[in-house]
Amino acid sequence: MKISRLASLALVSGTAWVLMEWLFFVTKPSFMSLYPWLEKLAVLSSTALIVAVSLLIISLPFAAVALLLHRLDVNGKVVSTVALLPVILLLTMTLVVILDNFMLTLFGWGIRDASGVAIYGYRLVTIALVVLAARVLDGFLVGRYSPGTLKNLAVAALVLVACSVPLLWITVAESTDEDFELTGSRQDLPNIVILSADGVSAKHMSLYGYERPTTPFMDRKRGEFLVSENHFSNASDTGGSVISLLSGKLPTTTRVVYPPDVLRGTDSYRHLPGILKNLGYYNADVSMRHYADPYDLNLRGGFHEANFRRLKETGGTLVAAIRKVPALNPASLLLDRISERVSERFGHIWKDKPMRNPMAEVNEPDRRWIYDDGRMAEIRRLLAEAPRPLFLHIHMMGTHGEKFRPSKRVYSTEEDYETLWHIGSYDDAIMDFDRNVEETYQLLEGSGLLDSTVLIISSDHGFQHRVLDRLPLLMRLPEKSKTGSMGGNTQRLDIAPTVLDFIGIRPPGWMEGRSLLDSDGSDLINRLIFANGSQADKSAEKDRWSVRNPQPPWYSLGRQYLIKCDQGFRLHLNTMEMSSMRIDGSTLACDETLSESEAREIMLEHLREKGYSWE
C-alpha cells in the first residue's frame, strides 16, 4: 500500500464530490446566482481545499490501522478497505446523490418519494455502490489501473485547490468585528420577542378600524402598546422582509429579495441577532424552513437554534468552525448545502426520516405547514426553558395565502377553503393570529416576564404580498415606558435600531432604519421609504412560484416601490412601467406631493446608489 496513492485518492475524491455539487448549484437558480464568476470559482476551489484536507486528516488513523494489519499479514482486500474507508464512504455518497439527481431530472421521482419496498431497493443500491466504490478505489491503490490516470487526476485536483489562495485573497470579505458599548447593567437587559404574522394588512384589523372584530385581544391591550398608524414593509416577499427586519438593511443593500437569494459577505455577519448574541442573549427563531429561516438565508453567528434544530448540530464540527470565518462564508454555505443534501438522503434511506421538499410543502393540498400549533408549542418551550436574556424571533404562517385554514370559522365556511384569497377565511386567520398574540402575552405574564420583555407585533408584508398596504406595528416596552400612537410613516428597517436604542446601544451606521423612541412621528411624515418586490412568477409545473433564471442587472429584483406620506409608487423594472396610488387608510397628507416622473427619478437614483446598473 502506497501512502502517496492513498493521499491522491483522498484528494481526488474530495475534490470530485465538491466539483459535482458545485456544478449542480452553479447551473441552476441557487445562492450562487448573484456571485460573479471569480467568486463562484473561489467557492469551488476553497471548498475543495477544505474537503480534501479534511478527508486526508480523517484518513490518517485508518491508514495507520491498515499499516498495522498489513504487518500482521491480514488479507490485502481487508487492508485496503480499512485504509480507504473514509474515501469509500464519500465516493458512495457522491454516487447516491448523482443517481438521485439523474432520477429526478429524467422521471421527477427520487429518494424523497421512496417508501416501503422502494426504501429497501435504495438500501440495496447503496450497498452495491459501496462495493463498486471499494473495488474501483482498491484498483487505483494497488496499481491495478493505470497509475498515470490517478497522477493526472491528483495534479488537476491540486491545481484546483491551489487556486483557493489567490481567489480568496481577491474576494475576501472585510472584517466584521465591532465593539458595542452597553450603557446599562447587563442584569437590566430585557428579553426581546418579535412576533410577526405572514401577510396581514392593517386595514383588516379591528385595531386599525376594520368593521369586523378580527383582533379583540389587541384591541383590549392597545393602551399598553406604542402603535404605529402607518407602518410599511421593505419587501413584498417573506425572505427579503425577514432579512430587512433582522439586519435593519434594505433588500437592495443585502440583495436578498426572493429565493434563492441569501446573505453574502459582511451582510451575513452584520445584523441585530449577532449584536444581541455578543451581549449574552440566547437567540432562537421559530418560522419556516427555506423561506424565513435564518440559517437557510445565510445569517451567520446570529441564532443558537432555529426551527427545531441547533446550529452546532447542523453540518458537523468542521462546518461549524468554518462558519465563523467571514472569508470562507461562501464555502461554508456550499458545505452546508451539500452536507444537507447527503444527510437528508441517507437519513431517508437508512433511518426512515422524511426528506423535505420545500416547494412541495408550500404547495401540498392540505397545507399542513400553515398550522401554527407546532410553532406555539416551541414558543412555550423556549419561554419556559431557554436561558435569559432571550431574543425570540417568531414568524407565524396561519395568515399565509392563497388559501386559508383558520382553526375557527366565523366569517367563512369549510367550502370557502378552495376559494383563493377568500376575505372571510383571511379575516378568520387574522383572528387566529390574535389568539396567538394573546397566548404569547399570557405566557410572558404568567411567567413574570412581561414587564422585563420588549414585545413587538408586526407582519412581513400585506395581503397578497402588497407593499403599499399599511401593516401592523405594536411595541410593548417594559413597564409600558412609551405608549400611544405614532402618526408618521415607519418601516420594518426601524425595528432593529429601535430595539438597540431601548437597551442602550447606539445603532451601527450600517443599519438603514432609525430608532422610533426619540420621535413623536411628526418628523417621519415626509420621509422616503423604499421597498422591493421580486420578479417571481408561477411556473407551468405544479403551480409554484419561482424566480426562473436570476440574471443581471436585476437578478430576482422585479419591482421598486417608493412611499412618501400617503403617496405610493411602483416601478416594474423589466418594463419600466410606472404606477401610483394613495395609501388606503393613511392618516397622513403630503405637504409637497411627488409627480410620477419625480418619483421615478428618485427610485432610479436609489438603484444606482445601491450598485445596480443597466443600459
pLDDT digits (tens, 9 = 90+) for 153-183: 889 988 888 888 777 666 654 444 455 555 5
Give CB contacts under 8 A, 24+ apart, made by 571-578.
Answer: 571/600, 571/603, 571/604, 573/535, 574/535
- The string of DSSP letters for 558-605 reads EEEEEEETTEEEEEETTTTEEEEEEPTT-S---SSPPPHHHHHHHHHH
**Residues 491 and 232 sit within 8 Å (Cβ to Cβ):** yes
Cell output for 344: 437528508
Please give the Cα distance from 426 to 572 (Å, whole number).
Answer: 28
Closest-CA residue to 92 (of 136, 60, 57) = 136
- pLDDT reported for residue 318: 61
Please give the Cα distance from 496 to 272 (Å, whole number).
Answer: 6
**Residues 376 and 286 sit within 8 Å (Cβ to Cβ):** no
User: Helices in 400-455 by DSSP H: which ranges?
Assistant: 423-446
What does DSSP assign to residue 172? Answer: P
Ramachandran angles phi, psi of 514, nearest 5°? -140, 155
Lowest-confidence pick of 43-47, 161-165, 407-411, 598-602? 161-165
Pairing mode, strands 577-582 and 309-310 = unpaired
pLDDT greater at residue 541 or residue 169: 169
pLDDT band at 150 (very low <50, low <70, confident <90, very high): confident
* pLDDT tens per residue across span 490-526: 999 999 999 999 999 999 999 999 999 988 778 888 8
Burial class (CB in 10 A: 0-12, 13-18, 19+), 437: buried
Q: How far is CA 444 from CA 306, 376, 380, 586, in A?
A: 20, 13, 10, 32
Residue 251, pLDDT > 70, answer: yes
- pLDDT reported for residue 531: 97
Please give the Cα distance from 340 to 383 (Å, whole number).
Answer: 29
- pLDDT reported for residue 364: 55
Please give the Cα distance from 132 to 592 (Å, whole number).
Answer: 75
> How distant is the alpha carbon of residue 140 from its chain centre?
42
Residue 479, pLDDT > 60, answer: yes
Please give the sequence-ordered ranges of beta strands (E in DSSP) within 109-245, or none if there are none. Answer: 191-197, 226-232
CA torsion sign for 32, 35, 41, 43 is: negative
Residue 22, pLDDT > 90, answer: yes
pLDDT band at 536 (very low <50, low <70, confident <90, very high): confident
Name the CA dihedral angle for 28, 32, 38, 44, rounded to a multiple of 10 degrees: -80
Query: Rounded mean pLDDT of 96-115?
Result: 86
The total number of residues written for the chain in this structure: 615
- The string of DSSP letters for 479-515 reads GG-S-EEEEEEEEGGGHHHHHHHHTT-PPPTT--S--
Cell output for 277: 448574541
- The amino acid that residue 92 corresponds to is T
Percent of the chain past pLDDT 70, that is, above it, reads 89
pLDDT band at 326 (very low <50, low <70, confident <90, very high): low
pLDDT band at 581 (very low <50, low <70, confident <90, very high): very high
* pLDDT tens per residue across span 544-561: 566 767 778 888 999 999
- The amino acid that residue 412 corresponds to is S
- pLDDT reported for residue 181: 56
Q: Which of 23-37, 105-119, 194-208, 278-292 has the highest mean pLDDT?
A: 194-208
Burial class (CB in 10 A: 0-12, 13-18, 19+), 470: buried
Cβ neighbour number for residue 356 with a 10 Å cutoff: 13
Coil, helix or strand for 123? helix
- pLDDT reported for residue 369: 67
Cell output for 259: 429565493
162, containing H or E segment? helix 147-162
Pairing mode, strands 282-286 and 390-395 = parallel
**Residues 80 and 1 sit within 8 Å (Cβ to Cβ):** yes
Closest-CA residue to 564 (of 609, 615, 614, 603) = 603
212's CB contacts (< 8 A; 6+ apart) are: 204, 206, 411, 427
Please give the Cα distance from 91 to 338 (Å, whole number).
Answer: 14
**Residues 93 and 99 sit within 8 Å (Cβ to Cβ):** no
**Residues 22 and 334 sit within 8 Å (Cβ to Cβ):** yes
- pLDDT reported for residue 174: 46
| CA within 13 Å, CB half, 379 | 27
Residue 315, pLDDT > 80, answer: no
* pLDDT tens per residue across span 350-406: 888 887 665 555 555 556 667 899 999 999 999 999 999 999 999 999 999 899 999
* pLDDT tens per residue across span 52-83: 988 999 999 999 999 899 888 888 889 989 99
**Residues 454 and 441 sit within 8 Å (Cβ to Cβ):** no
pLDDT greater at residue 121 or residue 143: 121
156, containing H or E segment? helix 147-162
Name the CA dihedral angle for 109, 112, 113, 115, rounded to a multiple of 10 degrees: 140
**Residues 459 and 559 sit within 8 Å (Cβ to Cβ):** no
* pLDDT tens per residue across span 392-405: 999 999 999 899 99
269, containing H or E segment? none
**Residues 265 and 325 sit within 8 Å (Cβ to Cβ):** no
- pLDDT reported for residue 574: 87
- The amino acid that residue 537 corresponds to is D
Residue 239, pLDDT > 70, answer: yes
Closest-CA residue to 444 (of 199, 208, 221, 183) = 221
- pLDDT reported for residue 173: 47
Name the CA dihedral angle for 220, 225, 226, 232, rounded to a multiple of 10 degrees: -70
pLDDT band at 84 (very low <50, low <70, confident <90, very high): very high
* pLDDT tens per residue across span 192-210: 999 999 999 999 999 999 9
Burial class (CB in 10 A: 0-12, 13-18, 19+), 419: middle
- The string of DSSP letters for 281-333 reads -EEEEES-TTTT-TTTTT--S--SEETTEEGGGSSHHHHHHHTT-GGGHHHHH
- pLDDT reported for residue 293: 92
* pLDDT tens per residue across span 252-311: 999 999 988 999 888 988 999 999 999 999 999 999 988 899 988 999 889 999 998 886
What does DSSP assign to residue 353? Answer: P
Does pTM top 0.85 for this prediction? yes
The pLDDT mean for the chain works out to 88
